[in-house]
Structure 1
Amino acid sequence: MATYQSELAKFGEEGLEPMHPSSQCLNAQLSLCIIGIAESEIPIDVDKIMVPLKSDLLLVSPGFSSVVVRKNGQQWWKRVEVQFEDHVVIPTFPPGLSPESYTKHYDEYFSKISLDKLPETRPLWELHIIKYPTQTAAGTLVFKMHHALGDGFSIMGAIFSMLKRADNPSLPLTFPSATSAPKEIVKENIVKTSLGLVSRCFNTVFDIAHSMMHTAWYGDSPNPIRSGTPSVEYSPMHTTRVILSLDDIRKVQSKIHVSVNDVVVGMIFYGIHLYSKKVGKSLTESQKTALVVLNTRMLNGYRNLDEMLEKNLWGNKFSFIHIPMPTHSDGEKVDLKTFILEARKIIQRNRNSMAVLLNGLLLALMDKFQGSEAVSKYVYTTMNKCSVCVSNLIGPKEKLAIADHPISNIYFTVAGVPMSLIFPVISYMGKLTIGISGEKKLIDTQLLASCMNEAFKKIVEETAM
């Protein structure tokens, strides 16, 4: 195994590239890793699959062939010679087990590598190749990449660029356009926006003030989905997911005149409501807040590697907004439609605010005057004082493949988040996958997923009537 200690010991001022401040803040008190999972339809041929991975991954960004150097309170990239095999891990499980048993081994392994810290003595990424069949895949590729290398847009864009279209590898991937509400809702929003400048200013001031006070003072109390455990980012997490048909979501969207985002957010909130009832714990006793993390790039879909690097699109560009989660007492009669309409109301109100842009500006100013360490502490505290985190990415419409291995599903999660529950959402091939990563000792993620599936199945059936 090659190490990079000698490189760290002998470098001088030359060859150092400054790390972007937003990347530095994600490799300090707050240290996050993006984990992308690609499920193969056939058993993985390691030698075959390594060829395109070797040829493409290191071309993505200089960070993939650089180590982190800390000097004078700053972080820098130092280019090194990468031994690709040193970053590839192929675990060994007991032979001859059933897919159900291998799924349990995989879940435990995934939970472990989510907690493991990437060593700074080598570039901050790993590839785990799971050759054993689980209940959902014949083999699994797990890409673990530090958030300092780039945000979800960049990392997943890199993964999509390594994977090719299964039907014709020479053709580019295509991505869904940003989904929106029905035309009558959009027109209504345009009218309200043009006439509601005062309202927008008021909402913006209120949202920024609420965000800062929530982070600085009160925050959410411990509840069924937030343990309040110190350093919760080091607690074992269990990850599962809910897979929905985008066609079914659009049917619900059309029937009750909302957007796709309204349906997804409403289902997350209603799933939490049902889950709390099933575990016999009330959500009405304290405030619960969802932190929605947004990418601030004004782009419509991903770009290939050449475009991403040429147009300087790589990096970390994000902001966030606090959303109060609706709650109802156990005696109230509510269903998924109720929560979808409430989600629509909350989302429309936040569209009439510039808090997302100003939160991003606040982080930039904080970095300029206080440094990336202060930004890292602020973002850490912001996350830690919320109950739920939601993030969203758009994936390709076509089936992907790598080295003739068709990919049945692709999704992601984020490790190191100082929260008990996160929902990473991504579309792929006409499906929407809602990841659920929950603190093992607190949350039964399988039960939560079951609640969401049952609720969605019911509203789809009602929509068809």
Structure 2
Amino acid sequence: MDNFEHVTEPVSPTGRYFNTPLICSYVFGFLEAEIPIDDSQDLCLFKDVFLPINPRFSSIMERDKDGTMKWRKVEVRAEDHMKFPIFPESESLEVYDKYFDEYVSKILMERTPQDKSLWEIHVIKYPTSNAAGTLIFKLHHALGDGYSLVGALLSCLQRADDPSLPLSFPSRKPSQSLAPKKGSFKWFPSTILSVFNSFSDFGWSIVKSSVIEDDKTPIRSGDEGLEFQPCVLSNISFSLDEIKMIKSKLGVTINDVITGVIFYGIRLYMQEIDNKARTANSTGLVLLNTRNIGSYQSVQDMMKPDSKSPWGNHISFLHVPIPKLSQASSSNPLEFVWKAQKFIKRKRNSFTVFLIEWVLDMELKLRGHEAVAKHIYGTIRNSSVVISNLIGPVEPMALANQPVKGLYFTMTGGPESINIAVMSYKRTLRLTLKTHKGFIDEKKFKSSIVKAFEVISKAAMDMDIPNKSKG
């Protein structure tokens, strides 16, 4: 009998990168319930809403007779993928917080069986300090990137105020075009500079991925096999309105503000643990969505052959040096925001991301997907922290008429000691910190990030001249 008569499509090259012995990566989406979870509709949601989103959710990866990895349709049973953990009964939210954290740490480390579809849904019906219950979506990165998978998750949700209306998202200004203005040659010098910067950044990125490691510091142990070590998940929430006030005062973007806060917080933490680390060579690896879009498209649109934001893995990365904590930056922490703005602006007008994609494609053709996985693994291992971000809806959401209080995500599978995922929802910006247990002091690290935000916010509000930007 031919096992491949129900093959839907070949596995994409990136899908294979993220499902190798070296890298087995997952995206975790967390939905926090505002009221206790009613699981009476779980089976219907599973069969009628979640499974139909994408054929990959009811397929497994298998190698055909020619050695090509393909998605094969299989029968999916709810009991294989829906998990309902049982915690000891308690009247204390703090105790449930502990059970929840321990359970999350456990499933972050576990790999899903390869003979079943590569996802799970964990239904936590117990209350915590943050929510009345939590749904955890564990989705293998081979199924798609964060944009695809969070977009799929959002397709299961509705606006809480009016389900007939679509969810809306914060607007994003498009990058400034490099195309020349008609009748003018003013664009020429900036284009030449952009080309020079692109190749310079590209060369540095290749060297960082293969040769030069970051210094060993309180945020980077340099140990082997960190992807198999236990980790801790924690969250920090900031007011999006306050971030917008900082943004307006400094004349920068929200991304500039939060990147500056993260980098300043990292340096404060490093200094507290080891004063010499304040000037160590450390790099942030920023994961980017390479789609030329401003918001999420529907899953139906993502699945179209001519989609501008197709389903799958469309990501790249950039190396961003973490500014050193010099005496000048200690006295003026806004320098971290302005340096972030300057670097991000330069990268925005650069072709580095596409050059990196080209290199990975060439390496795939010449050496195979496991060699590319090794390249990506080395890129992460040589850096100190991985940062990614996604935008969330502006309006409150509901799942089957159950209001969603909070929304956040994280990723696993890489050899980094710190992974920071940023996501907005309603009027809150949430930083989810995945840290190496026993190496990173998560309480001190969180405290350093919060302190960085408070110091930068105060410095911005105390500025005499508004809209002063050094970018």
Q: Does TM, scored on the shorter chain, surpass 0.5?
A: yes
Q: In structure 1, what is the equivalent of residue 251 of structure 2?
A: 257
For residue 67 of structure 1, what is the amino acid of its counterpart? I
Asked if the contact 1:336/1:456 (under 8 Å) is kept, the reply is no
Show CA shifts across 1:183-223 (max 9, x none): xxxx9xx9986532221121111111111111111121321
Q: In structure 2, what is the equivalent of residue 66 of structure 1?
A: 59
Q: How does 1:238-249 map to 2 (within 5 A)?
A: 238-249=232-243
Q: In structure 2, what is the equivalent of residue 3 of structure 1?
A: none
Choose 234-243 or 151-160, whichever is displaced more.
Answer: 234-243
* Distance change (3 Å), C-alpha of 1:106 and 1:330: farther
Q: In structure 1, what is the equivalent of residue 418 of structure 2?
A: 421
Given candidates 378, 398, 403, the residue that maps to 1:401 is 398
Asked if the contact 1:52/1:402 (under 8 Å) is kept, the reply is no
Q: In structure 1, what is the equivalent of residue 5 of structure 2?
A: 14
Instruction: Give the match's secondary structure for 1:322.
Output: strand
Instruction: Give the match's secondary structure for 1:14.
Output: coil
Instruction: Give the match's secondary structure for 2:52.
Output: coil
Instruction: Give the match's secondary structure for 1:64.
Output: helix
Show CA shifts across 1:14-72 (max 9, x none): 33331111111111122100000010011111123443343111112111001121355
Show CA shifts across 1:94-130 (max 9, x none): 1024111111111111011000011101000000011
Given candidates 209, 212, 215, the residue that maps to 2:206 is 212
Given candidates 129, 135, 146, the residue that maps to 1:141 is 135
Q: Does structure 1 residue 226 correspond to structure 2 residue 220? A: yes
Given candidates 359, 362, 365, the residue that maps to 2:362 is 365
Q: Provide the C-alpha distance between the structure 1 equivalents of 2:341 and 2:279, rounded to a whole number of angstroms.
A: 24
Instruction: Give the match's secondary structure for 1:69.
Output: strand
Shift of residue 399, structure 1, vs aligned partner: 0.7
Show CA shifts across 1:315-373 (max 9, x none): 01111111111012479633431211121122222233210111112212222222211
Q: How does 1:281-296 map to 2 (within 5 A)?
A: 281-284=275-278, 286-296=280-290
* Distance change (3 Å), C-alpha of 1:73 and 1:192: farther
Choose 225-234 or 450-459, whichever is displaced more.
Answer: 450-459
Instruction: Give the match's secondary structure for 1:283.
Output: helix
Q: Provide the C-alpha distance between the structure 2 equivalents of 1:345 and 1:276, rounded to a whole number of angstroms.
A: 23
Choose 10-19 or 127-136, whichever is displaced more.
Answer: 10-19
Choose 400-409 or 272-281, whichever is displaced more.
Answer: 272-281
Asked if the contact 1:179/1:259 (under 8 Å) is kept, the reply is no
Q: Provide the C-alpha distance between the structure 1 equivalents of 2:129 and 2:349, rounded to a whole number of angstroms.
A: 44
* Distance change (3 Å), C-alpha of 1:62 and 1:328: same
RMSD of aligned C-alpha atoms?
A: 2.2
Q: How does 1:445-460 map to 2 (within 5 A)?
A: 445-460=442-457
For residue 12 of structure 1, what is the amino acid of its counterpart? N
Choose 426-435 or 127-136, whichever is displaced more.
Answer: 426-435
Q: In structure 2, what is the equivalent of residue 275 of structure 1?
A: 269
Q: In structure 2, what is the equivalent of residue 54 of structure 1?
A: 47
Q: In structure 2, what is the equivalent of residue 41 of structure 1?
A: 34
Q: In structure 1, what is the equivalent of residue 469 of structure 2?
A: none
Instruction: Give the match's secondary structure for 1:374.
Output: helix
Instruction: Give the match's secondary structure for 2:90.
Output: coil
Stretches of 4+ aligned residues off by more than 6 angstroms: none
Q: In structure 2, what is the equivalent of residue 27 of structure 1?
A: 19
Asked if the contact 1:179/1:260 (under 8 Å) is kept, the reply is no
* Distance change (3 Å), C-alpha of 1:11 and 1:336: farther
Choose 98-107 or 345-354, whichever is displaced more.
Answer: 345-354
Q: Provide the C-alpha distance between the structure 2 equivalents of 1:79 and 1:426, rounded to a whole number of angstroms.
A: 33
Q: Provide the C-alpha distance between the structure 2 equivalents of 1:440 and 1:37, rounded to a whole number of angstroms.
A: 20
Gaps of 5+ in 1: 1-9
Q: Does structure 1 residue 118 correspond to structure 2 residue 109? A: no
Show CA shifts across 1:252-290 (max 9, x none): 011111111110100000111111222244324531111
Q: Provide the C-alpha distance between the structure 2 equivalents of 1:415 and 1:191, rounded to a whole number of angstroms.
A: 47
Asked if the contact 2:90/2:96 (under 8 Å) is kept, the reply is no
Asked if the contact 2:333/2:459 (under 8 Å) is kept, the reply is no
Shift of residue 302, structure 1, vs aligned partner: 0.7
Gaps of 5+ in 2: 463-471
Asked if the contact 1:222/1:228 (under 8 Å) is kept, the reply is yes
- Equivalent pairs counted in the alignment come to 450
Choose 425-434 or 325-334, whichever is displaced more.
Answer: 325-334
For residue 402 of structure 2, what is the amino acid of its counterpart? H
Given candidates 367, 389, 392, the residue that maps to 2:389 is 392
Q: Provide the C-alpha distance between the structure 2 equivalents of 1:405 and 1:89, rounded to a whole number of angstroms.
A: 19
Show CA shifts across 1:218-259 (max 9, x none): 121321101111011111111112111221111101111111
Asked if the contact 1:128/1:143 (under 8 Å) is kept, the reply is yes
For residue 200 of structure 1, what is the amino acid of its counterpart? S
Choose 325-334 or 257-266, whichever is displaced more.
Answer: 325-334
* Distance change (3 Å), C-alpha of 1:202 and 1:241: same
Asked if the contact 1:49/1:403 (under 8 Å) is kept, the reply is no
Shift of residue 74, structure 1, vs aligned partner: 3.6
Shift of residue 180, structure 1, vs aligned partner: 7.7
